[in-house]
Amino acid sequence: MRTIRVSDLPDTFPVKKSTLYVWKHKGLFPGLFVKIGGVLLLDLDKWYELLKHHRTVKATLRRKGFELKSHD
């Protein structure tokens, strides 16, 4: 398991740190976070699995003719 402190994530990370804290608080994406001694860590291996799954779902929906809205 490769981890990084959420507080140490670069500003260029695609998700805001505050969003990650909310996800943890709400119990979203189990296994994505590890808390050790009061420090919130992001499991990078789980993060990459989540990204891969998201991209696969988007590609499948596009192949089936669904248009996905951008949240930019």
User: Is the CB of residue 6 less than 8 Å from the CB of residue 17?
Assistant: yes
| Domain contains 7 | yes
| Domain contains 15 | yes
| Domain contains 21 | yes
| Domain contains 29 | yes
Q: Residue 33's closest CA among 6, 53, 11?
A: 6
Q: Render pLDDT for 26-49 as a digit per residue (tens, 0 to 9).
A: 999 989 999 999 999 999 999 999
Of residues 1 and 65, more confidence is placed in: 1
The count of domains in the chain is: 1
Q: Which domain holds residue 55?
A: 3-63
Cα 45 to chain center, whole Å? 10
Instruction: Output the pTM of the full model.
Output: 0.77
| Domain contains 33 | yes
Give the model's pLDDT for residue 46: 94
**Strand order through the sheet with 33-36:** 3-5, 39-43, 33-36
Binned at pLDDT 50, 70 and 90, residue 8 comes out as very high
Binned at pLDDT 50, 70 and 90, residue 65 comes out as confident
